[in-house]
Amino acid sequence: MRSNLFIIILVLALLSLPAWASDIVIRDASIMTMGPQGTIERGSVLIRDGKIAAVGSDIDVPEGAQVVDAQGKWVTPGIIDCHSHIALDSINEGGTNVSSMTGTEDVINADNFTIYRDLAGGVTSANLLHGSANPIGGKNQVVKLRWGKTGEELKFKGAKPGIKFALGENPKRPGIPLYTRGRDRRYPASRMGVEDVIRDAFNRALAYQAEWDEYEEKKARGVSPLIPPRRDLQLEPLVEVLKGERLVHSHCYRADEILMLIRVAEDYGFTVGTFQHVLEGYKVAEEIAEHGAGASTFSDWWAYKVEAYDAIPYNAAIMHNKGIVVSINSDSGEEARHLNQEAAKAMRYGGLDAEDALAMVTINPAKQLRIDDRVGSLEAGKDADVVIWNNFPLSVYAIAEEVYIDGQRYFSREMEAQRLAQLEEEKKRLLEQDKSKKGDQQEKVEDVDVVHSIEEGGRQ
């Protein structure tokens, strides 16, 4: 009886739901759309069913819509971090020099608190990459920072698959002696070796594909009996790269190694998706532009190792001016919290205007990840991933006040105090109930708040 009553009440509640269940209007804000509409001095964004229904200065508020008064505030698309290792239970598979069979898709930790911290910095999407331990690393996973959802629900469905490559010092492992404790250091130990590992892997991928082609051809001819080739999860992603179905996101620093990968890619007939870090990109910007790769770099972070010495803060602006699609990434759960400021540095160093600078953390990474049909700008039809800032977003004083993903508010600074009080309350209650204090077993409790340290040079 009681449950029947409950259902009746629920049904009544649903029936009486007004249009505001899906319609939200963010009103009277300065809007940097990052799309064809440019910057709108005073306008509104209409969100319906998780999508942007309209952006402009003359939007009528539908009846029953939830109105967010953003007068004096700024609205931008959600920030996209093109290089992140947050929310992963493992980052590097260093046991092999070609770990293309692995993927961050398998190890997402949606409970990792860094997700929420980055969200509070206006980040709505991130490219979760394998680390840089290997010339060919693992598959990536683009996610939306839907805090509170499961790992599966974080995944950005429809994002183009990618894979991590790494050049230079990290994959050649300079810190490890050539021969130690009875075993040789893992190959490769030089930049030449890195290239060799990559070429060898692609040669194997070509042979693998040929094996399957032969099998399919025989099968079509009706040859029987026939045993199909073994499926190889290491080579399948590389076949996809060769077919243009998977993007290469390659960690790199020096001009020579950047040119090397361009030569390799052109020899094998594919285009590199992005060069990551790419601190010497300014030296070979024309070559990168001609090849058609994107570049995803830091604003002004360098000299943490030899291959990162020859960097300049003008890198992003120079590459942009040479026609490269440039993004600025974090590679860090902390840095991701102020990517708007990182982008702003391209205004100081290189003289870009505000829109070109903000593009480096919105529409440009969206283009690099091939998700620009869904996110990266505020345009009708795109996902409603929206940030409301208290200030001009490229100012050091800018703070994200509200962050929406798919039209749902995942962060609100106004609600934060209340949320924290609830958590405090829960903690107090749980501690009272906790009868297992000071048990006799150690190391049973992990702290999921711990930000994963980036293994083996992931950050560098």
Of the candidate spans 64-72, 145-153, 208-216, 349-357, the one that interacts with another protein by CB under 8 A turns out to be 145-153
Nearer to another protein, 99 or 297 (CB): 99
Of the candidate spans 15-23, 83-91, 271-279, 350-358, the one that interacts with another protein by CB under 8 A turns out to be 83-91
Question: And the tokens for 236?
Answer: 């399948």
> Binding residue for another protein (CB under 8 A) from 28, 81, 93, 383?
93
Report, in Å, the least distance between residue 399 CB and another protein.
Answer: 24
Of the candidate spans 105-113, 160-168, 189-197, 298-306, the one that interacts with another protein by CB under 8 A turns out to be 105-113
Distance between CA atoms of residues 241 and 165, nearest Å: 12
99 contributes a contact to another protein by CB under 8 A: yes
Report, in Å, the least distance between residue 104 CB and another protein.
Answer: 7
Site for another protein in 221-260 (CB under 8 A): 225-228, 230-234
Nearer to another protein, 131 or 294 (CB): 131
Q: In the block, which residue shows the tokens 């509640």? A: 13
Report, in Å, the least distance between residue 426 CB and another protein.
Answer: 7
Of the candidate spans 93-101, 156-164, 212-220, 251-259, the one that interacts with another protein by CB under 8 A turns out to be 93-101
Distance between CA atoms of residues 382 and 318, nearest Å: 30
> Binding residue for another protein (CB under 8 A) from 76, 102, 362, 460?
102
Distance between CA atoms of residues 123 and 119, nearest Å: 5
Of the candidate spans 24-32, 106-114, 295-303, 348-356, the one that interacts with another protein by CB under 8 A turns out to be 106-114
152 contributes a contact to another protein by CB under 8 A: yes
Coil vs helix vs strand at 231: coil
**Burial, 248: exposed, middle or buried (Cβ in 10 Å; 0-12, 13-18, 19+)?**
buried
177 contributes a contact to another protein by CB under 8 A: no
Of the candidate spans 62-70, 108-116, 117-125, 245-253, the one that interacts with another protein by CB under 8 A turns out to be 108-116
Handedness of CA 23, 391, 350, 258 (dihedral sign): negative
446 contributes a contact to another protein by CB under 8 A: yes
Strands of the 123-128 sheet, one edge to the other: 79-84, 123-128, 141-144
Coil vs helix vs strand at 271: coil
Site for another protein in 414-443 (CB under 8 A): 423, 426-427, 430-431, 433-434, 436-443
Question: And the tokens for 60?
Answer: 């009528």
Question: And the tokens for 48?
Answer: 């319906």
- 114 and 216 Cβ atoms separated by less than 8 Å: no
305 contributes a contact to another protein by CB under 8 A: no
CA distances from 138 to 97, 106, 135, 162 (A): 10, 11, 10, 9
92 contributes a contact to another protein by CB under 8 A: yes
- Number of helices followed by number of strands (H, E) in the chain: 13, 19
β-pairing, 294-297 with 326-328? Answer: parallel
Beta strands in 308-348 (DSSP E): 326-328
Interface residues toward another protein, by CB under 8 A? 89-96, 99, 101-104, 106-111, 113, 130, 138, 150-152, 186, 225-228, 230-234, 423, 426-427, 430-431, 433-434, 436-449
